[in-house]
């Protein structure tokens, strides 16, 4: 067995595999690091899409230090946020496809801040607010005309469902300002994910601040808030540490002092958002070896965890590239080249091609680190009807919560 701690071995023996283990000490450390890298007055919105497990998102709200707020884009994520204790006033509702029913639910549950992707989206937000006798605040998401730093996922500079094209803002500014039931409170500038390095991250943030200044002029609205996005990096299913950003705070403070001199007094209030950075290295995936075979000279290690358990969206080329690197004990155990594949009846169920793994036999357990983000809920959970992986939440050696997502078909 290659699980690297007695606790992981115990949990795998008790609950079986595939098994995710999330350590809240890691979540706490990531939150401290991120807030520590930012100017003191910044807000941090946690992107629930990275991992909406209630125990993890609760940990990001409670404990020592500043609390994260919630960035959500569905009523399911809204329910998780409310269960974890987030008040509606600490929730930002985003996404290009918000339905009228979803908007009504969010308004009823106390959400008052929305990201608007278009004039029509803004109108829908206003209609939902008016129907319930309130006024909502909106951050206009901007699709900048130009792309900035290189990144694994680019969110601006091309035709897209995300955001209002920056070159059209001046033309439609009066319409945006005059939508009943909603006030244009600021801007949402999410342009990248998983920045290459600190220089790239800083460069993109500084460019977003310049875009915000230009959009404020085009809109004719004094910004009360701006969300300048994310891009904070952590290894994905490979060993390694979260990125550190020692120069970020000073760079942001200098730029904001010049471009928005009132920001230190909250005019505007500035926020960033992060998903994987806050939870990615808290998670470990334990995968059982079901079979080992050789085909035409190549070895295949067949696991009980595949793209139905981890990286399903990336397996379809939609999210992050899957190329896991398993822990190899560090105890001198012999390794070999093999492909890690899952249990599904599709040739696309591959977690790693010709990677270094410990010499492995049926019944062993492999440990895949840095899997706290984009795990079960970003996978093909229902494909072939296999059970969802078990998820255990721990703090150090204490087991706090163990659960599994169940697929239940209910009449409507």
**How confident is the model at residue 319, as a pLDDT?**
44
Share of the chain above pLDDT 90, in %: 79
Q: What mean pLDDT is predicted for residues 150-170? A: 71
Task: Return the residue matching tokens 């959400």.
Answer: 111
Q: What mean pLDDT is predicted for residues 126-145? A: 96
| Residue 293, phi then psi, degrees to nearest 5 | -140, 160
Q: Is 411 a domain residue?
A: no
Predicted structure pTM score: 0.93
**How confident is the model at residue 26, as a pLDDT?**
96
Domain edge (last residue) among 255, 278, 301: 278
What is the number of domains present in the chain? 2
On whether both 159 and 247 belong to a single domain, the answer is yes
Contact 142, 119 (CB under 8 A): no
Domain edge (last residue) among 217, 246, 278: 278
321 burial class (0-12, 13-18, 19+ CB within 10 angstroms)?
Answer: exposed
Using 50, 70 and 90 to split pLDDT, how confident is the model at 320? very low
On whether both 259 and 342 belong to a single domain, the answer is no
Q: Which domain holds residue 180?
A: 24-278
344-384 tens-digit pLDDT: 998 889 998 998 888 899 999 999 999 999 999 999 999 99
Token pair for 93: 């509702």
Element (H, E) at 173: helix 169-177
CATH number at residue 237: 3.20.20.10
As separate numbers, helices (DSSP H) first and strands (DSSP E) second, the chain gives: 11, 19
Q: Is 409 a domain residue?
A: no
Rounded distance between C-alpha atoms, residue 400 and residue 341, angstroms: 31
Domain edge (last residue) among 224, 256, 278: 278
Q: What mean pLDDT is predicted for residues 242-248? A: 97
């Amino acid at each position: 067995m290659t699980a690297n701690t007695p606790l992981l071995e115990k949990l795998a023996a008790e609950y079986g595999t595939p098994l995710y283990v999330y350590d809240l000490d890691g979540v706490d450390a990531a939150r401290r690091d991120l807030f520590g890298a930012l100017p003191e007055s910044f807000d941090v919105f946690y992107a629930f899409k990275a991992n909406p497990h209630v125990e993890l998102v609760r940990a990001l709200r409670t404990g020592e230090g500043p609390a994260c707020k919630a960035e959500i884009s569905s009523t399911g994520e809204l329910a998780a946020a409310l269960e974890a204790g987030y008040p509606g006033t600490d929730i930002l509702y985003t996404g290009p496809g918000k339905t009228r029913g979803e908007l009504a639910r969010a308004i009823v549950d106390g959400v008052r801040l929305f990201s608007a992707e278009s004039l029509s989206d803004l109108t829908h937000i206003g209609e939902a607010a008016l129907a319930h006798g309130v006024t909502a605040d909106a951050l206009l998401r901007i699709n900048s005309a130009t792309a900035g730093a290189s990144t694994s996922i680019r969110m601006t500079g091309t035709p897209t469902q995300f955001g209002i094209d920056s070159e059209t803002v001046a033309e439609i500014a009066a319409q945006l300002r005059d939508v009943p039931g909603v006030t244009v409170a600021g801007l949402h500038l999410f342009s990248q994910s998983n920045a290459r390095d600190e220089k790239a991250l800083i460069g993109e943030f500084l460019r977003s601040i310049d875009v915000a200044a230009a959009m404020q002029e085009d809109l004719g609205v004094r910004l009360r808030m701006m969300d300048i996005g994310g891009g904070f990096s952590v290894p994905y299913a490979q060993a390694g540490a979260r990125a550190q950003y020692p120069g970020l705070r000073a760079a942001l403070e200098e730029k904001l002092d010049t471009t928005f001199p009132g920001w230190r007094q909250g005019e505007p209030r500035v926020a960033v958002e992060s998903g994987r950075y806050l939870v990615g290295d808290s998670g470990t995936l334990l995968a059982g070896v079901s079979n080992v075979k050789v085909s035409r000279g190549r070895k295949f290690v067949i696991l009980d965890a595949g793209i139905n358990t981890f990286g399903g969206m990336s397996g379809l080329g939609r999210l992050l590239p899957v190329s896991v690197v398993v822990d190899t004990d560090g105890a001198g155990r012999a390794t070999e080249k093999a492909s890690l594949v899952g249990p599904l009846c599709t040739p696309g169920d591959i977690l790693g091609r010709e990677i270094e793994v410990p010499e492995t036999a049926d019944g062993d357990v492999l440990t895949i680190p840095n899997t706290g983000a984009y795990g079960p809920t970003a996978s093909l959970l229902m494909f072939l009807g296999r059970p969802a992986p078990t998820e255990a939440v721990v703090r150090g050696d204490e087991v706090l919560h163990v659960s599994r997502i169940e697929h239940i078909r209910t009449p409507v």
